[in-house]
């Protein structure tokens, strides 16, 4: 499958582009969408048929980290003062209570994710309080997919057991790279042996799935050093692997200014590292899920791909249906009905809104009919690798080839390049094209086609 993925082809498609965890993308959110609009979307869910029939997904953002990772572009607060977590949990509680006032309590939840920052910054008692508060206000289903991001430097065997007993069945270790020199360059030192022991502990305890995050394109990385990391990760055999390209945007993300630009690998080496990773993981038996995700054949994500049940949300690929997502905490993003919303990005603004009895939404978007139709096409490409014209036409009462005439011309060009196959029934992404599915989906992004200033996005590779 990788024989056609040459460095030349990877280099050709090394362009900036969205990750399409949503469409329209978050950079299109507007401040005209505020708390009242979000409350209206919540009320429509409560009054509509989705109220109890369609389960919710919950995302809780814990922004705290003890130390700064120089590559990080997440919304975080660097502090060693753990006492700062207690007031934050009180504000989270107030935010959940405001949701419950509109939605009512007992809304079913099939998916819960704690991200950050470092959720394991919280003490065991604080995590216990947080989970109890969520269960008071929502009906977290037995067997719900409950995941938490873990900084390996902040957990022990006993702590992993505690998280499992608390109800988490999926964990994600932030590894990035195992090379000591690279770890020093990004200020995140965690020996391979430490992560290997935690992987063994997680399996023994019984977590359903263990994910490992990796980044290529970091300072001091070379194709040779990254090959060693790939071999070590393959030896650990996590259930899932997320492989991200580092986007160096120091003008946007202050921590990245500590990275020495001259130490970053060049484009040719980045392409080489991606090519190596694709070959290494596929030869190790992993299924390429799409974009930058891999999973073992028996993992739920790989099963969902085989069965055509993949979905995408703001956390990436998901096995869950296209359910509403409630985002809780500083900077959290949610999706309710045909709307997107994002909370305040600073702690002061987040707390001020809640002190005034308002949900802390500061921007968002109400999707138009055109947005919804294009979202359906983009998500079909990103998740199923195909678009059936008739399904889009029936759902949105349009003639596909006429409505998307300009896009169809682009598809014909991509077909000549071996990326897609277009026939009378629809568009099928080829095995080769699946590695560049973002580039295919981008052709249906009306905002992106009208805006040639794409530097706000990471590169596809």
- Angle among Cα 249, 294, 248 to the nearest 5 degrees reads 5
The 10s digit of each residue's pLDDT in 2-29 is 445 676 777 777 777 888 989 999 999 9
| Superfamily per CATH, domain 26-326 | tm_1862 like domain (3.80.30.20)
Task: Check: CB of residue 295 under 8 Å from CB of residue 301.
Answer: yes
Give me the CATH code for the 1-24+369-461 domain, please: 1.10.10.920
* Tokens linked to 326: 């409630």
Question: What distance lies between CA 191 and its chain's CA centroid?
Answer: 25
Q: Does 1-24+369-461 match 26-326 in CATH topology?
A: no
Task: Check: CB of residue 419 under 8 Å from CB of residue 429.
Answer: yes
Structure confidence at residue 18 (pLDDT): 86
The 10s digit of each residue's pLDDT in 391-440 is 999 999 999 999 999 999 999 999 998 999 999 999 999 988 887 888 99
The 10s digit of each residue's pLDDT in 49-67 is 755 668 899 999 999 999 9
> Stretch 288-294: mean pLDDT, rounded?
86
Structure confidence at residue 460 (pLDDT): 62
Query: Would the pLDDT of 380 be above 60?
Result: yes
The 10s digit of each residue's pLDDT in 133-145 is 999 999 999 989 9
Structure confidence at residue 176 (pLDDT): 96
Query: Would the pLDDT of 158 be above 60?
Result: yes
Alpha helix (H) ranges present in 7-123?
7-12, 35-47, 50-53, 85-103
Q: Which residues are annotated as a binding site for S-adenosyl-L-methionine?
A: 59, 71-73, 116, 149, 176, 188, 213, 247, 333
Structure confidence at residue 3 (pLDDT): 42
As a whole number of Å, the end-to-end CA separation of the chain is 18
The 10s digit of each residue's pLDDT in 196-240 is 999 999 999 999 999 999 999 999 999 999 999 999 999 999 999
Percent of the chain with pLDDT over 90: 76
Q: Which residues are annotated as a binding site for [4Fe-4S] cluster?
A: 65, 69, 72
Q: Which residues are annotated as a binding site?
A: 59, 65, 69, 71-73, 116, 149, 176, 188, 213, 247, 333
> Stretch 308-314: mean pLDDT, rounded?
85
Query: Would the pLDDT of 1 be above 50?
Result: no
Structure confidence at residue 321 (pLDDT): 72
Structure confidence at residue 2 (pLDDT): 44
Task: Check: CB of residue 352 under 8 Å from CB of residue 9.
Answer: no
Percent of the chain with pLDDT over 70: 95
Query: Would the pLDDT of 320 be above 80?
Result: no
The 10s digit of each residue's pLDDT in 31-42 is 999 999 999 999
Q: What is the rounded CA–CA span in Å between residue 415 and residue 212?
A: 34
Structure confidence at residue 173 (pLDDT): 96
**pTM of the shown model:** 0.91
Residues in the chain: 461
Where are the domains positioned within the chain?
Answer: 1-24+369-461, 26-326
Task: Give 3-state DSSP helix, strand, coil % of the chain, rounded to 5.
Answer: 45, 20, 35
Q: What is the rounded CA–CA span in Å between residue 22 and residue 378?
A: 9
């Amino acid at each position: 499958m990788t024989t056609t993925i040459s460095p030349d082809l990877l280099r050709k498609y090394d362009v900036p582009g969205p990750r399409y965890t949503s469409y329209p993308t978050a950079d299109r959110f507007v401040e005209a969408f505020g708390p009242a609009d979000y409350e209206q979307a919540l009320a429509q869910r409560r009054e509509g048929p989705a109220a109890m029939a369609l389960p919710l997904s919950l995302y809780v953002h814990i922004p705290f980290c003890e130390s700064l990772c120089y590559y990080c572009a997440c919304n975080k607060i660097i502090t060693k003062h753990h006492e700062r977590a207690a007031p934050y949990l009180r504000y989270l509680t107030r935010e959940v209570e405001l949701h419950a006032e509109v939605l009512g309590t007992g809304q079913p939840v099939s998916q819960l994710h704690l991200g950050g920052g470092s959720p394991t910054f919280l003490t065991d008692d604080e995590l216990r309080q947080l989970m109890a508060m969520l269960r008071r206000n929502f009906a977290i289903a037995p067997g719900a997919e409950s995941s938490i991001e873990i900084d390996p430097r902040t957990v022990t065997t006993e702590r992993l057991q505690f998280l499992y007993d608390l109800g988490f069945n999926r964990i994600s270790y932030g590894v990035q790279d195992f090379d000591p020199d690279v770890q020093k360059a990004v200020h995140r030192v965690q020996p391979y042996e430490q992560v290997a022991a935690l992987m063994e502990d997680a399996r023994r305890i019984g977590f359903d799935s263990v994910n490992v995050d990796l980044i290529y394109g970091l300072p001091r990385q070379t194709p040779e050093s990254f090959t060693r990391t790939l071999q070590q990760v393959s030896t650990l055999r996590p259930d899932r692997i997320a492989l991200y390209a580092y986007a160096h945007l120091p003008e946007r993300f202050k921590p990245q200014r500590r990275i020495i630009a001259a130490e970053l690998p060049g484009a040719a080496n980045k392409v080489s590292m991606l090519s190596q990773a694709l070959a290494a993981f596929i030869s190790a038996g992993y299924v390429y899920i799409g974009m930058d995700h891999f999973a073992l054949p028996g993992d739920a994500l790989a099963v969902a791909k085989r069965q055509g049940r993949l979905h995408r949300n703001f956390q990436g690929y998901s096995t869950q249906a296209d359910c509403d997502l409630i985002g809780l905490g500083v900077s959290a993003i949610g999706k309710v009905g045909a709307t997107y919303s994002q909370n305040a990005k600073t702690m002061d603004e987040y707390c001020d809104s809640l002190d005034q009895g308002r949900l802390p939404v500061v921007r968002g978007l109400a999707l138009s009919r055109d947005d919804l139709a294009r979202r359906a096409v983009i998500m079909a490409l990103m998740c199923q690798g195909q678009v059936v014209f008739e399904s889009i036409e029936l759902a949105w009462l349009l003639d596909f080839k006429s409505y998307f005439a300009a896009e169809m011309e682009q598809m014909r060009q991509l077909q000549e390049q071996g990326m897609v196959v277009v026939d009378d029934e629809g568009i099928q992404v080829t095995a080769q094209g699946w590695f560049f599915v973002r580039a295919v989906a981008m052709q249906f992004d009306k905002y992106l086609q009208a805006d040639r200033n794409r530097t706000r996005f990471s590169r596809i590779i």
